[in-house]
Structure 1
Amino acid sequence: MTDKAQDLLDWTPDAVVFDCDGTLMDSERHWQEARIRAFREYGLQPPPGFAAQATGLHYEDCGRLMARSVHKPELVEGLTAALLDHFLALVTDEPATMPGATQLVRLLSGRLPLAVASNCPRVVVEGSLTRAGLREHFQYIVVPDAGDGIRPKPHPDVYAVAARLCGVPPQRALAVEDTLTGVEAARRAGLRVLGVGPRPEGDGAVRADLWLPALHAPELLDWARSCDHRGSAPEP
């Protein structure tokens, strides 16, 4: 384990901000299927490599990317609406948490302020967490909102707002993310970052302080159990 990684596990944040899709909820597979169905609705096929390009994007950005990838800019609105409709149907039928999500959230609940910072529409985040029995553990949910000037990831806005609502400076909050888009957003907001899930290819993952294979990694659960029993380490 690198010094940077060990440093994170020796540190107690003042708040934890989780991504939702792919981090707490096993819904990235639903987005992938929704993209396929939206393309199919218009008699189209996803171009090679499209899934990797779309992972972590806000659904409106994804709709624009879908139209651009098939050289049909006139379909932006239609593909975006179809994408969201198909996703909502899929996630309603099969809500599921990521391995370790429930255990980790419950361990941290009541010890530290918890928030969610997601690129998904609020109705999706609220509904998913409620069905999973996790909504009560989060004090705040922050999603992109044009009216409030909150831009989607990779802009830092959702994480900056989440930290502020938790009442902590960004550098005293920990972000938990599964995509490089989210890691970049959290880093730009000033948070430290824990990456979870399959490690992305390339060197992008080094932007996270630590990358673990799942939320139920033993060292992460041990860290959560001791979060409120030790003093905070010096700032990195």
Structure 2
Amino acid sequence: MSTTAHPLLDWSPEAVVFDCDGTLMDSERHWQDARNRAFREFGLQPPQGFADRAKGVHYADCGRMMAEETHKPDLAPDLTKALLHHFLALVAEEPLTMPGAVEFVRTLSGRLPLAVASNCPLEVVEESLGRAGLRRHFRHVVVPSEVPGDPDGTAARPVTGADAQVVRPKPWPDVYATAARLCGVPPEAALAVEDSLTGVESARRAGLRVLGVGPLTDEADARQADLWVSALHSEQILTWARDRVPPPAP
């Protein structure tokens, strides 16, 4: 989609909150490989179209979906555990960033607060960003504290450092609302950068404007974001970041 004369490009955010998988890190391929490995580990065949349905879904929900769609509901905990195990191994072997992500983050870094809002476990996000040399650019990393299918909170994970508020996974608005709050800005003053429709819905529900990034086959899907571009190395997006976001004070 063209970015020419787009209203979003006449706006200056006060904070930017990034998704991680598929936006900053090229990890969707790793999730797909991890799903396939987990299916094979239990002698199961991936259902047709499962990869599209699983994109952007919290890994615990994904494990449940894997079990339900292969008619093995009792395997949900084991599939979830296997999925995360295989993914972490793949990330450790080959952490990759998305096209333009590093330059875009570096352009914004120091100009305004940056945060990450992800459905992934905290250790996955921290490890991925650290290996890619990006972690130092982000003031906050927000992940769900409430794991799907765990109403008692026995598998809960931290939000960020000392924030104890319960945060539900996307498509709930919690991760984006929390990230904006931690950055010290109202949601409507923050920009979300997302690659999945699940994430776009989460950011929208939280009140953020949304820059969608990545390939799309349906124009109706693209219209769910304020603006959708194919990659973050778009010169118009980089020019916008340099021109519309004030540089840090000397």
The equivalent of 2:195 in structure 1 is: 178
Task: Give RMSD over aligned pairs.
Answer: 1.6
Aligned to 2:89: 89
Using the TM superposition, give the Cα deviation of residue 126 of structure 1 relative to its aligned residue in structure 2, in angstroms: 0.4
1:219 aligns with one of 205, 220, 236: 236
Which amino acid in 1 is paired with 2:239?
A: D
Unaligned runs of 5+ in 2: 147-155, 157-164
SS across alignment from 1:22: coil
Structure 1: distance between partners of 2:4 and 2:207: 16
In the alignment, what sits opposite 2:175? 158
Amino acid at match of 1:75: L
Structure 2 matches for 1:51-130, cutoff 5 A? 51-130=51-130
Partners of 2:3 and 2:227 within 8 A in 1: no
| Cα distance in structure 2, aligned partners of 1:200 and 1:185 | 21
SS of residue matched to 2:215: coil
Q: CA deviation at 1:229?
A: 4.0
> For residue 159 of structure 2, what is the aligned residue in structure 1?
none
Structure 1 equivalent of residue 215 of structure 2: 198
1:142 aligns with 2:142: yes
Q: What amino acid maps onto 2:238 in structure 1?
A: L
Query: Where in structure 2 are the equivalents of 1:18-37 lying within 5 Å?
Result: 18-37=18-37
- SS, match of residue 245 in structure 2: helix
Number of paired residues? 230
TM-score, normalised via structure 2 length? 0.89
- Residue 234 of structure 1 corresponds to none
Runs of 4+ in 1 over 2 A off after TM superposition: 1-5, 227-230
- Look up the SS of the partner of 2:111 in the other structure: coil
1: CA distance between counterparts of 2:209 and 2:91?
30
* 39-48 vs 145-154, which moves further: 145-154
Q: Give the whole-Å Cα distance in 1 for the aligned partners of 2:215 and 2:109.
A: 25
Are the counterparts in 2 of residues 111 and 227 from structure 1 also a CA contact under 8 Å? no
Compare the two structures and name the one with the higher helix fraction: 1
1:226 deviates by: 1.3
Distance in 1 (alpha carbons) for counterparts of 2:29 and 2:3:
34
Residue 205 of structure 1, CA deviation? 2.1
Distance in 1, Cα, partners of 2:191 & 2:140:
15
Q: Which amino acid aligns with 2:172?
A: H
Bigger mean CA deviation after superposition, 19-28 or 218-227: 218-227
Percent identity over the alignment is 68
Structure 1 residues without counterparts, runs of 5 or longer: 231-236
Q: CA deviation at 1:149?
A: 1.8
Distance in 1 (alpha carbons) for counterparts of 2:88 and 2:188: 34
- TM-aligned CA deviation for residue 4 of structure 1: 10
SS at match of 1:152: coil
Work out the CA distance in 2 between the residues paired with 1:185 and 1:205: 15
1:178 and 1:124 map into 2 onto residues whose CA distance is 18
Give per-residue Cα distances to partners, 1:100-148, cap 9 Å, x unaligned. 0110000000001000000000000000000000000000000000253
- C-alpha contact 1:4 1:209 (8 A) present in aligned 2: no
TM-score (norm 1): 0.94
Given the superposition, is the C-alpha separation of residues 19 and 145 from structure 1 closer, same or farther in structure 2, using an over 3 Å criterion? same
CA contact (8 A) 1:178 1:196 kept: yes
Which residue identity lines up with residue 186 of structure 2 in the other structure?
P
